[in-house]
Structure 1
């Protein structure tokens, strides 16, 4: 059944159409100020309470040749773990207080922490958005993160699409990105290449290497890939409580935080579950028998618009 004849619960038809056209959509004031402040306060409490005594000082890096891939990272799907900014560690030691050093907290916040679980898995408005989009039939949440974007050192995240890192066959990743603080051009707000999800195929995927660590596996050789989409990146400034929906194939990025202020955001991702899409053992993040990826909806959507649309 086309989305235009379905009864929408939260989104307008114009918003659904905009998401499908542009590949992303900002929903102003999705969380209340009280909900937003609770997540920000909890994020800072988690950082304050985490111990450095047995921490491997794992830095979060995004480069092609040095992307993080140690056991602390690979086994974080059902845990709450802390990853450091590249510039926060010198000669194996923190060069600043830990609350100014953490790049992100991940990847099981949505299941293990009551505040984040409430917003992610127990939020009826969130479920209404999922139903309205008709992007998935039976989505599951597979990772969640608080991204801190620390003052002056909060790292640049280069052009990418999320399905490269959360690959399914066919691609089905969908991001939910919630600003917990003001996001500006100065502190690393997100930028998007509108419409690129329609013309930029997933050409590689981020995988576990058989001998350990992580790397990229080519899906479409560069000589066979279509030309890179052209256009102008648009910056999406946000205020606390705004949520941005991010299609798994859209190209997006964020600049380094050059300001004296943090840019906290909470983000989580959904993918389609079997039999509608296949998530295999090559992916860096793996569910366990004790902690399978949790389903979002009480019952599957009867119809969806095709994933790549």
Structure 2
């Protein structure tokens, strides 16, 4: 998607230079989007969820962004596929031993909490979709005509085991025709070079097509459907590491390449994130996508929450 001309008089939150930077680089870092009180509320609620969830009967579903057949099998189970309208807990790969049991306390074993936080939990609902600053940013970007929110989650990036996330773009996992995903990523803690801060390849959204999509397989489970030949992996030296403080919002174009390294520190790196896509008739979100709306919880129209 390309930006419309920027009219300074019509912007209510972003500056013209911020809008231009987003469209030029494919991402935008906005410090202090959340104030300390908002961050504290989200952190407390995250800790409450981690402390209170019940391990009894939990399938210990692990989550990884690995793209081999073996690595993607575990995210194809029902616990994962039916999580879009629920609050569910997914484990770090290294937190589950060969005996199939957790090798550390549960609140230090969770990779992420997802995927229906934005509707199922009142604290997270105040950030999305009911935050007026969020609506102002969406209007200023003019990236969507009728944005819909989906896939909300806390990513924990646990100390010493928080997994590396390889080079990817988000529209692979939330595919629309034409591609329309944009990520809203909120740092809840300081993101540093040692705990897994995000890195971006500026401008790659202009040169990197969506070459595959993550889908529900007809035979069950999930896998990748190839759309066209993939580009060769990018040299690490071309990436820009974006460290940031708690409260920072990072806007992520659905086609921009980004990644994060393993958390090698003793600190967590909590972040809250959700995505927006364009609604029909402007873009088609089909039944192949792993994440599906339900009758009880359709994707939330941002501007309907007025």
Q: Please state which band the TM-score falls in when normalised by the shorter chain.
A: over 0.9
What secondary structure is seen at the aligned counterpart in 2 of 1:297? helix
Contact 2:4 2:142 in 1 (8 A): no
Count how many residue pairs are aligned between Structure 1 and Structure 2.
297
Summarize the alignment of residues 292-303 of structure 1 with structure 2, pairs less than 5 Å apart.
292-298=298-304
Q: For 1:235, which of 241, 246, 263 is the aligned residue?
A: 241
Partner of 1:196: 204
Summarize the alignment of residues 46-61 of structure 1 with structure 2, pairs less than 5 Å apart.
46-61=49-64
What secondary structure is seen at the aligned counterpart in 1 of 2:34? coil
For structure 2, the residue ranges without an aligned partner over 5 or more in a row are none
Q: d(CA) in 1 for partners of 2:122 and 2:253?
A: 27
Summarize the alignment of residues 146-225 of structure 1 with structure 2, pairs less than 5 Å apart.
146-222=154-230
Partner of 1:83: 90
How big is the alpha-carbon RMSD for the aligned residues of Structure 1 and Structure 2? 1.5
1:45 aligns with 2:55: no
Q: d(CA) in 2 for partners of 1:213 and 1:232?
A: 35
Query: Larger deviation: 56-65 or 149-158?
Result: 56-65
Q: For 1:266, which of 262, 266, 272 is the aligned residue?
A: 272
Summarize the alignment of residues 25-44 of structure 1 with structure 2, pairs less than 5 Å apart.
25-44=28-47
Partner of 2:5: 3
Q: d(CA) in 1 for partners of 2:208 and 2:303?
A: 29
Compute the displacement of 1:142 (Å).
Answer: 1.1
Contact 2:211 2:226 in 1 (8 A): yes
What secondary structure is seen at the aligned counterpart in 1 of 2:76? coil
For structure 1, the residue ranges without an aligned partner over 5 or more in a row are 301-309
TM-score by length of 1: 0.93
Partner of 2:27: 24
- Residue by residue, what CA displacement relative to the aligned partner does 1:204-233 show, whole Å, maximum 9, x if unpaired? 0000011111000011134xx6x6667710
Compute the displacement of 1:2 (Å).
Answer: 3.4
What secondary structure is seen at the aligned counterpart in 1 of 2:215? strand
Mark the CA change 1:299 to 1:186 in structure 2 (over 3 Å): closer, same or farther.
closer
Mark the CA change 1:33 to 1:219 in structure 2 (over 3 Å): closer, same or farther.
same
Q: Show structure 1 runs of 4+ deviating over 6 A.
A: 227-231
Contact 1:10 1:132 in 2 (8 A): yes
Q: d(CA) in 2 for partners of 1:96 and 1:76?
A: 24
Contact 1:138 1:299 in 2 (8 A): no
Summarize the alignment of residues 122-161 of structure 1 with structure 2, pairs less than 5 Å apart.
122-161=130-169
Contact 1:147 1:264 in 2 (8 A): yes
Partner of 1:307: none
Q: d(CA) in 1 for partners of 2:44 and 2:233?
A: 41
Q: d(CA) in 1 for partners of 2:234 and 2:4?
A: 28
Summarize the alignment of residues 239-250 of structure 1 with structure 2, pairs less than 5 Å apart.
239-250=245-256
Mark the CA change 1:228 to 1:84 in structure 2 (over 3 Å): closer, same or farther.
closer
Q: d(CA) in 1 for partners of 2:293 and 2:82?
A: 10
- Residue by residue, what CA displacement relative to the aligned partner does 1:79-109 show, whole Å, maximum 9, x if unpaired? 0000000000011100000011000000000
Q: For 2:76, which of 53, 65, 69 is the aligned residue?
A: 69
